[in-house]
Structure 1
Amino acid sequence: MRFRAFLALIIFVICSGQASAQSPVDLGSLSCSLAQARNFILVSKMDLDCTFIRIDGGKEKYQGRIQRVGVDLSIRKNFVVVWNVILSGNTKNPGSLAGEYAGVGADVSLIVGPGARVLVGGGDDAITLKPLSITGVRGTGASLGVESFVLSPAS
């Protein structure tokens, strides 16, 4: 119960701080899947292969890395996360999702389970991942921590 209240408070603070002179525009979705994970109980890193699918159907490939400081007692066999991508500025250039994001994340699984990420930031502070993402985890364990997410164009 306390975790839900904490998560709701964080979402409220993040959303209230994202006011802009322009109305946000939905650009599409960013889907990332696990390429490699390293867990060290208090620190974990996940390398991700990501695809941004624009509203117009165009696609861009990215590489991402989530680094977490907190408790991570997970053994992941599969991990997929999907964010809605919104534009709060004027930039719509290819590769403009690249940047650094930060927030909190949590996963719980017993064979299969849900997760959530609250992350803000992005390239030129004009593009933001919608605060709450949907995560699907296959594996066993639980994790909760402060996360950074770095997204760069795939090479």
Structure 2
Amino acid sequence: MITSVPAQLPSGSLRQASGLAVTYEQFYSALDTLVDDSGANMDLGCSEGNIDEMARRCKQHTPNRPVCVVAQWKWVDSELTRLGKIGDSESLTYSFLYANRIIRDSRNRGFNSVFTSPFKTLTDGCLFHTQNSIYMLVGPGKRIYIQPDVVALLRLI
């Protein structure tokens, strides 16, 4: 867990490096939230004993989509505000998946953790679909909220 902001970082924001209005404190707080035990409990994941069966289902229904089996996961919600007419705005919630443990990855990318592209749909109670991949959630997870600019910055790294 990240316990404090490193002393060498300047105060202020990461705007100059990223173009986003994010302070170092917000960024490190979001990193803490991703890896600590905070968040609302979600019991969507399948058991480790069902991994092979769920992988067969994925191959049967979506044979060309890569599958990544993950544990120690967090469903990350964020919000995007779209401005319309003057004084009129619309807020859209979008979600991502962060997993601190990759059990199996059909693409063999060699990563230990993953922060996905935006959520499209959930099937079979544990298959988190994005535009290009399926993430099989194993075991219980957590649901958290992270500010939009921080999510954008996390996606850059």
Q: Same fold (TM over 0.5)?
A: no
Determine which structure has greater relative contact order: mean sequence separation of CA pairs < 8 Å that are 6+ residues apart, divided by chain length: 2
Higher strand share: 1
- Structure whose alpha-carbon radius of gyration is higher: 2
Higher helix share: 2
TM-score by length of 1: 0.29
